[in-house]
Amino acid sequence: MHLCRVIGTVWATRKVDTLHGYRMLVVQPLSHDLTEKGTPVVAVDTVSAAPGQLVYIVKSREAAKALDEPFNPVDATIVGIVDEVRTST
């Protein structure tokens, strides 16, 4: 799983049937010190995250397993909201 910051929202009216009802957010992957790492991705939201929040995502095949319909064309899903990251480095 990867730490990310929510930086935006994606609106898509016309989409695959199984994606109807899901919100999609643009998230910027972060390193453990919260510096940006790589390019932003679009992730399905399952935790009602909001722009600016720190979240974590699961990627690849396991991303679809977070949804009610696991046979879904999804490769990134937000599965939690971060309260705090505790690191000593």
The yes or no reply on residue 86 touching other proteins (CB under 8 A) is yes
Provide the CB-side half-sphere exposure for 67 (13 A, CA). 24
Q: Name the residue nearer to other proteins (CB basis): 15 or 62.
A: 62
Q: How far is the CB of 14 from other proteins (least distance, A)?
A: 26
Distance of alpha carbon 89 from alpha carbon 76, whole angstroms: 27
Distance of alpha carbon 33 from alpha carbon 16, whole angstroms: 36
Q: Using CB under 8 A, which of the segments 9-17, 20-28, 56-64 binds other proteins?
A: 56-64
Binding mask 30-49 for other proteins (x = CB under 8 A): -xx-------------xxx-
Longest dimension (CA), the chain: 46
What element of type H or E holds 61? Answer: helix 61-64
Q: Name the site residues for other proteins (rule: CB under 8 A).
A: 1-3, 31-32, 46-48, 56, 58-66, 70, 77, 79-89
